Amino acid sequence: MKMLGVIGGVSPESTALYYRLLNEAAREKLGGEHSANLMIYALDYGVMIKHYNARDWNAFTAEVVAGAERLAAAGVQAIVISSNTTHIAAEAVAERTGLPVLHMLDALGEAMTRAGVNKPLLMGTPVVMGEAHYRSELTKRYAGNVLVPTEAQQLEVGRIILDELVNGVVRSASRAALLEIIANSGADSVILGCTELCMILSADHCDIPVFDTTALHVKAASQYAFSEA
């Protein structure tokens, strides 16, 4: 198994999900008591959320790159960024480290194309839903019409993620609010475009296909780790 370098901390909740799921994948592949061969560099969420709130993407990216460089120096063979929003630094990480960055949107775009959906609803942090970078990168990998919630709905989704989920809080009322947004969107599928959203939503809650970026990303990373190339 190749050694993966996981950039985490944004948030610690989703980082723990990646660690658990990567180990489950290794156990499924290798059997017995095996576990994943990986290193985690956890960024300080308190620092990162300040850069996020200020929309200081230069400082935000610098923190991510510094973490990736430490992982590269430790000998990892590929980088996994365990956050949708933090993929804003993916290109810089690849350039500075020279390592493959296993991009979340490659896995997402492939899954949606394979499923044949045309109008997925993108749910994530306000930056993921409302700013250009994420959707621009997704359109390079997927030809469908990506929908986003209204501005008011984006604020509510962001509140649920940033005030509740990143702190490990899962409320049934918040799940109901998210499901109402989905039901009124006219979408034929939904993207869980934040790695914490799988804490509160899954395919069991929805009548349309759900694309869980956490699960899709972990699956792609695990396949890479076990590949011969």
pTM of the model: 0.96
Whether residues 89 and 126 fall in one domain? no
Regarding whether 207 and 221 lie in a shared domain, the answer is: no
Q: Which helix (H) or strand (E) holds 84?
A: none
Same domain, 138 and 98: no
Q: How confident is the model at residue 173 (pLDDT cuts 50, 70, 90)?
A: very high
- State whether 88 and 132 are in the same domain: no
| pLDDT digit string, tens, across residues 178-228 | 999 999 999 999 999 999 999 999 999 999 999 999 999 999 999 999 997
Please, which pLDDT band fits residue 82 given cuts at 50, 70 and 90? very high
CA distance 68 to 76: 9
Residue 23 and residue 94 in one domain: yes
**Mean of pLDDT over the chain:** 97
- Judge contact between 10 and 83, C-beta under 8 A: yes
132, 72: one domain? no
DSSP string covering 19-51: HHHHHHHHHHHH-TT----EEEEE--HHHHHHH
Same domain, 115 and 189: yes
Does one domain contain both 109 and 198?
Answer: yes
- The neighbouring-strand residues paired with 101 are 79
Regarding whether 221 and 186 lie in a shared domain, the answer is no
81, 161: one domain: no
| Per-position DSSP letters for 147-160, written without gaps between them | B---HHHHHHHHHI
Domain that holds residue 192: 105-212
Average pLDDT estimate for 138-149 = 97
List the CATH number of the domain containing 171: 3.40.50.1860
Same domain, 121 and 155: yes
Verify that 110 and 208 share a domain, yes or no: yes
Burial of 204 (0-12, 13-18, 19+ CB in 10 A): exposed
Of all residues in the chain, the percent with pLDDT exceeding 90 is 98
* Short-list 192, 159, 196, CA closest to 177: 159
Task: Give the C-alpha separation, 220 to 4, whole Å.
Answer: 12
Instruction: Domain count for the chain, please give it.
Output: 2
Q: Is the pLDDT of residue 229 over 90?
A: no
pLDDT tens profile 19-77: 999 999 999 999 989 999 999 999 999 999 999 999 999 999 999 999 999 999 999 99
